[in-house]
Amino acid sequence: MSREVDIKRMVELAEQLEYHSHKYYVENSPEISDFEFDRLLRELQDLEDKYPDMASPNSPTKRVGSDLTAEFDSVEHRIPMQSLSNTYSPDELGEWIDRIIREIGEVEFVCELKFDGTAISLTYENGELLQAITRGDGRRGDDVTNNVRTIRTLPLRLRGEGYPQLFEIRGEIFMPYASFDRLNAEREAVGEPLLANPRNAAAGTLKQQSSQVVAHRGLDCTLYHLAGDGVEFKTHWESLEAARGWGFRVSEHARICRTREEVEAYIAYWDVERKALPYATDGVVIKVNRYADQRTLGSTAKAPRWAVAYKFQAERALTKLLSVDFQVGRTGAITPVANLEPVQLAGTIVKRASIHNADQIALLDIRLGDMVYVEKGGEIIPKITGVELSARDEYSRPFEYITRCPECGAELVRYEGEAKHYCPNASGCKPQIIGRIEHFVKRKAMDIEGLGGETIELLWENGMLRDISDVYRLDPMLLASLPRLGEKSAANIIEGVRRSLAVPFERVLFALGIRFVGETTAKYLATHFRTLDAIAAATAEELAEAEEIGSKIADSIIAYFADEQNVRIIERLRESGLRFEVEDKVKTSNALEGKSIVISGKFVGRSRDDMKALVEEHGGKNLAAVSANVDFVVAGDNMGPAKRQKAEKLGVKILSEAEFMELINGAERVTQPAEPLSRTEVESAPIQGTLF
């Protein structure tokens, strides 16, 4: 059979498989058997193996995913993804509707179920899926295209006609209850911790580095908003109907409402009927239908004025309180957790619930053996909100809160203005030590791969880790001798430790785990004071001069540096070579002056962040997506096929790593400090380091 015939057959098979996928997964009306579908899929896979250069990145074979590890690029949204204003109050919702009617006059609303998942923005070009980006912070998100391709209800190629040449469609990726229950049953069978709820499971699945794992987990997707210059409809409803015709799954439960009473009736109906749905919903979104009216109403800095989300009141269940455990966090905070008789709540079986603190226990008069009300209003762990006093045993006794740490036995303390009790034994309480080390090595801090919670606990038990400074004194031979590790794992840990020495100061500061000093606060402190020594020597008044530093944070910083043990740990970290001061960016040459460059793939001996840093050092500008504005792409191994395809289509030059290095190494050198970051840049810039 000739190549031309084979390639024609590949096109035919792809079209047939997309058609039958839509019939099965979206319309629920399959026309062929599973066996016949699998036979067609195998035939296409065989042809793609024969002609890999002709395999489309949107081939139906990509639905099963790949076991290749994928890193996620951070991508800027072409159109920012705003949040919606929320309300739990029928009166507030009524006031919002009345205001809209006063401003617009006769108006139509579209009411849609609010799916409880994770937001996604999909870009289609010439009818094919080009890119899928998470919401992120609304300005930038992660490119999860390969993972999204595995969602079978999502069209890789559009049907029908009339769709814009380039447009975005936004929606929600969620995990149906059936997928969630199956996944937790599998995890329970092998002794893995259970996933908390479908929403968190969907978000976590979307960030899996193996799209094969994503395909197995069974995500779903519903779409609800078209965006882009090429989208030309008069109403939101028309756009939804068009999207449905192009093959997108659009909720069949959306309705047009013209009065406040119709909106309220829609909400009342679904507040009851949502419990019978096969997926989680947590409210109703109400949007003004006509786009002209939307433009008249406009938006605030954070949310559109023409839409609002009405959140259902949290579901609750009644069950028995069996016992209370006390957990110790990395800051020493004691958290009581209730053990319950298993009960069905919001689509999941609940066995544990938070009680928050001693005050909450006393306020509700919670006692062992009580029948308690449990709510799940978005929390990972549900919470106890009340007691059914009529069911209380007449011999029950008030609950006695613990006075000593359940882990180390130290007497608990309660600081002024704090609701929680704390274990003050920071240097000798195992959960606190392990928690601080886990915080220190996590991705947004020192980013040391291979040191997960179980490994850190193993090293603690073997006397190899007693505080965060011990991370830089690990012996590879001793590491390799421990159970579950071996030479390869030990080598990976040591390499991760070595690479972490290049992490910039603001992330080192965050990694120290100073109470109340999060990622953004660490950026502000680093920008203002420039060195750790300056922060340590600052008075409360001087600390307060930095952006967003109030008295509470200032007092915490002073207390941290007043602790002699913390000072010793910092000195050991300094001896190990960590960065304790801001390093000015230096412009090495003008080789890339005025050039816009995309870095994609994996590189030999350098991380992607390293490559981006080189672009900036030589005067260039990093872009996340390929467009006509890009001067060239630097391609490493496993460059995304969609990026390569688009670059070739636009005629954008693609350089190898070697060609890129030759370009900058041959340039005439200059030395010029970069301009300092503005406050806006500090607040919006992602925390990322340059590893060597």
Say what the pLDDT of residue 605 is: 66
Q: What is the pTM of this model?
A: 0.50
7: CB partners within 8 A, 6+ apart? 51, 54
Q: Is residue 231 part of a domain?
A: yes
Q: What is the CATH number of the domain that holds 290?
A: 3.30.470.30
pLDDT tier for residue 418 given thresholds of 50, 70 and 90: confident
Tokens of 120: 């996604």
Residue 115 has pLDDT above 90, yes or no: yes
Say what the pLDDT of residue 214 is: 87
pLDDT tier for residue 577 given thresholds of 50, 70 and 90: very high
Residues 484 and 613 occupy one common structural domain: no
200: CB partners within 8 A, 6+ apart? 380
Q: Checking DSSP bridges between strand 334-345 and strand 383-387, what pairing results, if any? A: unpaired
pLDDT, the chain, mean: 85
User: Mean of the pLDDT values across residues 5-22?
Assistant: 81
Residues 592 and 634 occupy one common structural domain: yes
Residues 166 and 177 occupy one common structural domain: yes
Tokens of 44: 């296409």
Q: Is residue 660 part of a domain?
A: yes
Residues 117 and 221 occupy one common structural domain: yes
pLDDT tier for residue 667 given thresholds of 50, 70 and 90: confident
Residue 383 has pLDDT above 90, yes or no: no
Residue 497 has pLDDT above 80, yes or no: yes
Residues 185 and 263 occupy one common structural domain: yes
Residue 692 has pLDDT above 50, yes or no: no
d(CA 335, CA 420): 8
Task: Please state which of the ranges 85-99, 186-200, 368-382 shows the lowest mean pLDDT.
Answer: 186-200
Say what the pLDDT of residue 691 is: 24
Is residue 585 part of the annotated active site? The answer reads no
Residues 329 and 300 occupy one common structural domain: no
Say what the pLDDT of residue 84 is: 86
Nearest to 452 by CA among 438, 462, 469: 438
CB 257 within 8 A of CB 108: yes
Say what the pLDDT of residue 677 is: 39
Nearest to 211 by CA among 144, 136, 152, 156: 144
Tokens of 102: 């006063």
640-652 pLDDT per residue, tens: 777 788 888 889 9
Tokens of 62: 């990509």
Stronger pLDDT, 587 or 618, i.e. the higher one: 618
Say what the pLDDT of residue 131 is: 92
Could you please report the per-residue DSSP string of 296-337?
HH-B-SSSBTTEEEEEPPPPEEEEEEEEEEEEE-TT-BEEEE
User: Mean of the pLDDT values across residues 89-105?
Assistant: 92
Place of tokens 């995890």: 187
Say what the pLDDT of residue 436 is: 94
pLDDT tier for residue 32 given thresholds of 50, 70 and 90: confident
- Counted domains in the chain: 5
H/E element holding 239? helix 236-245
Residues 280 and 174 occupy one common structural domain: yes
CB 462 within 8 A of CB 474: no
CB 332 within 8 A of CB 392: no
Could you please report the per-residue DSSP string of 460-498?
HHTTS-SSGGGGGG--HHHHHHSTTTHHHHHHHHHHHHH
pLDDT tier for residue 689 given thresholds of 50, 70 and 90: very low
Q: Checking DSSP bridges between strand 596-600 and strand 632-635, what pairing results, if any? A: parallel
CB 202 within 8 A of CB 118: yes
287: CB partners within 8 A, 6+ apart? 109, 110, 112, 236, 294, 306, 307
- Domain end, chosen from 409, 424, 439, is at 424
Say what the pLDDT of residue 69 is: 38
Residues 417 and 354 occupy one common structural domain: yes
Q: What is the CATH number of the domain that holds 591?
A: 3.40.50.10190
273-299 pLDDT per residue, tens: 988 899 989 899 999 999 999 999 998
The burial class, CB within 10 Å (0-12 / 13-18 / 19+), for 557 is buried
Residue 359 has pLDDT above 60, yes or no: yes
CB 227 within 8 A of CB 169: yes
Residues 409 and 452 occupy one common structural domain: no
pLDDT tier for residue 46 given thresholds of 50, 70 and 90: confident
Nearest to 208 by CA among 219, 196, 221: 219
- Domain end, chosen from 465, 500, 535, is at 500
Tokens of 527: 């920008």
d(CA 490, CA 173): 37
First to last CA, the chain: 51
CB 514 within 8 A of CB 426: no
Residue 576 has pLDDT above 50, yes or no: yes
- The DSSP bridge partners found for residue 409 are none
Residue 34 has pLDDT above 60, yes or no: no
- The DSSP bridge partners found for residue 44 are none
Q: Is residue 106 part of a domain?
A: yes
Say what the pLDDT of residue 289 is: 96
Domain of residue 133: give its range. 86-311
Residues 304 and 323 occupy one common structural domain: no
CB 687 within 8 A of CB 444: yes
Q: What is the CATH number of the domain that holds 344?
A: 2.40.50.140
The burial class, CB within 10 Å (0-12 / 13-18 / 19+), for 292 is exposed
Residue 520 has pLDDT above 70, yes or no: yes
User: Mean of the pLDDT values across residues 388-410?
Assistant: 95
Residue 624 has pLDDT above 90, yes or no: no
d(CA 44, CA 38): 10
User: Mean of the pLDDT values across residues 495-522?
Assistant: 92
Say what the pLDDT of residue 284 is: 96
Q: What is the CATH number of the domain that holds 461?
A: 1.10.150.20
- Domain end, chosen from 293, 311, 329, is at 311
Residues 407 and 437 occupy one common structural domain: no
Residue 320 has pLDDT above 90, yes or no: yes
Say what the pLDDT of residue 133 is: 93
Say what the pLDDT of residue 35 is: 59
Specify the 3-state DSSP secondary structure of 262. helix
CB 524 within 8 A of CB 535: no
Q: What is the CATH number of the domain that holds 49?
A: 1.10.287.610
Marked catalytic residue, from 8, 50, 114, 383: 114
Q: Is residue 519 part of a domain?
A: no
What's the number of CA atoms in the CB half-sphere (13 Å) around residue 643? 27
Place of tokens 């030999």: 604
Say what the pLDDT of residue 39 is: 74
Say what the pLDDT of residue 629 is: 82
pLDDT tier for residue 439 given thresholds of 50, 70 and 90: very high
- Phi-psi region for residue 224, left (φ > 0), alpha (ψ -120 to 50) or beta? alpha
Say what the pLDDT of residue 30 is: 66
Residues 296 and 403 occupy one common structural domain: no
Report the Cα 581 to chain-centroid distance in Å: 29
User: Mean of the pLDDT values across residues 343-355?
Assistant: 83
Report the Cα 291 to chain-centroid distance in Å: 31
83: CB partners within 8 A, 6+ apart? 138, 302, 303
Neighbours of 233 (CB within 10 A): 15
* Rounded percentage of the chain residues whose pLDDT exceeds 90: 47
